[in-house]
Chains A and B, each alone.
Chain A
Amino acid sequence: MVTANPTTERVEKLAIEDLTIRYGDTVALDSASFKVFENEIFGIIGPANSGKTSFLRALNRMNEMTTGMTVDGVVRFDGTDVRDWRDVYALRSRIGVVFPLPVGLPLSIYDNVALSPRLRGIKSRAELDTIVEQCLTRAALFDEVKDRLDSLGSLLSGGQQQRLTIARALSQDPELLLLDEFSIAVDPVTTMRIEDVLKDLKQELTIVLVSNLVRQARRLADRTAFFLGGELVEVGETEALFTGEVKDSRTTDYLEGRFG
């Protein structure tokens, strides 16, 4: 898989078939179908209320924790319908999520990152130490916080908390990483650092990147989908979209900043 030519032999990580998401009677996403391949960064762009966050919530069955949210159609994760996973907690633990606003849990920095391993039953302090250092390092945060791992994660700066959230997601050892407009509360320099981290991570896992910045999607995503008002307007190779090979004129309008 690593040696395979990425354009010819791509392994399917997610298959979305006729996915429709509703809140009561409001349709947030209307029968979308597309695939996400292993070891790619899959970008999702679109203006506010286009159903991007709702889509992410359907992937790890967080819709079950949201009153009024219903999901029809199929999401296949590694070929299996996510609804057929008997253990939803095991499913979620394989999917890391980073939210638009950083969520530093009211625990120490160390405990933030050690939480997921602990939930998996890892107790050995040495093992936890290794995981914490590794994940913080990969999220480009370790050097800034290594002397105060005991202080509260929720009191870090916004940009630091977002990297802490990424470290926490990585501590799940996920196969799929969902990022929802991660750079909203992060300064440009930190954003660039995180973007570099994501490019490296692509070697090991699959990333779905919802972005409010069209240019960020262009920098990072291998393929990109364009959502608009609950409709999947377009999906294709990112470069192709940006160089004008689009089927729908609304895509060009959005990419060129004519709305949204």
Chain B
Amino acid sequence: MSSSFSTTDLNVRNQRNERLFKLLFGLITATLILPVVIIIGTLIVKSEGTLTWAFFTEDPTNGMTEGGIFPALVGTLWLVAVALIASVPLGVAAAIYLSEYAKDNWLTRLINLAIINLAGVPSIVHALFGVGAFVLFFNFGTSILAASLTMAVMTLPVVIVSTRESLQAVPQSFREACWSMGATRWQTIWRIVLPNSISGILTGVILEVSRTVGETAPIMFTGAAFFLPFLPSSVFDQTMAMSLHLYVISTQVPHVPEGLPYGVALTLILIVMVLNSVSIAFRTYLRGKKKW
């Protein structure tokens, strides 16, 4: 080290760099948030006056250019609920198997790899699979059942991955302590692992729901209808759905008043935001109750 290279110079430079990087990264973050702010802002401004109580509780009328979105709202709830009933038990069971039972061998690693890749399959591909498997092969027809199962298949990998992560967040020493007392794997899972990961699992599930709410492709060919101004009575009926409704009124129907699509879009985003808030609140609650 030469002595002319004084430490104070270095300090000054480090401090300048520190400020520079803080500013740079702050600016980048701000640019990323900007589109979200613009989207929501535009929706709120342009949808002015459409979000009335009647909008949520009435059927669309006059070739979907007037009235509300009630059947689409209810339809979306049906689709999401049935998809959850199918994907959560299966996904959680698979995650428990992979995390708690499966040996770490090439087969397990292959399955894990497959799951990760499955999560990356585009939703339109899932849609075509859904048509082939559920609409035609199982002969469910275009129905809530076929559409929900298609969405379930699509969300399964994410449910599995998030559940497996929650399970693996439970320290291994807890399992070892249980096993060495003579508990079986299942007793250990039931009494220690699940109770301490259930909130994490639910958080993942809620996030998953909010994703399915917005999906259009997988339900478009499998069970969602353009226009069906009455409510489904069973899972074998077709139904309207929010996401498809938005697509239809913004691209397929002439003379739709400008505020209407913005109102539907804002409603969609509101649903997602409510679900995400529930999920975040849940996680905060969970952190507050941390047991170790």
Contact = CB atoms under 8 A, between A and B. Distances in A.
A binds B: yes
Nearest to A88: B182
A95 to B, nearest CB: 7
Interface residues of B, number: 20
Nearest to B187: A119
Given A106-B196, A119-B187, A92 B182 contact: yes
Interface in A66-105: 67, 89-97, 99, 101, 103-105
Contacts of B178: 105, 115
B184 A89 contact: yes
Contacts, number: 67
B13 interface: no
A97 B180 contact: yes
Interface of A: 60, 62, 65, 67, 89-97, 99, 101, 103-107, 115-116, 119, 152, 154-155, 165, 168-169, 172
A65 B101 CA distance: 10
B192 A106 contact: yes
A115 B191 contact: yes
Interface string B269-292: 000000000000000000000011
Given A99-B173, A101-B173, A106-B196, A92 B191 contact: no
B182 A172 contact: yes
B114 interface: no
22 contacts: A62-B179, A89-B183, A90-B182, A91-B182, A92-B180, A93-B181, A95-B180, A97-B177, A97-B180, A97-B181, A101-B173, A103-B177, A105-B177, A106-B192, A106-B292, A107-B191, A107-B192, A115-B178, A119-B181, A154-B291, A165-B177, A168-B177
A93 B182 CA distance: 4
Contacts of A90: 182
Contacts of A105: 174, 177-178, 192
The winner among B173, B181, B183, B196 for most chain A CB atoms within 10 A is B181
A91 B183 CA distance: 11
Given A165-B177, A168-B181, 12 more contacts: A60-B180, A62-B179, A65-B176, A89-B182, A97-B181, A99-B176, A103-B177, A105-B192, A106-B174, A107-B192, A119-B181, A169-B181
Nearest to B104: A67
A180 to B, nearest CB: 11
B109 interface: no
B292 A62 contact: no
B187 A65 contact: no
Contacts of B180: 60, 62, 92, 95, 97
Interface string B175-206: 01111111110010001100110000000000
A161 to B, nearest CB: 10
Contact of B182 (A103, A119, A154): A119
Nearest to A119: B183
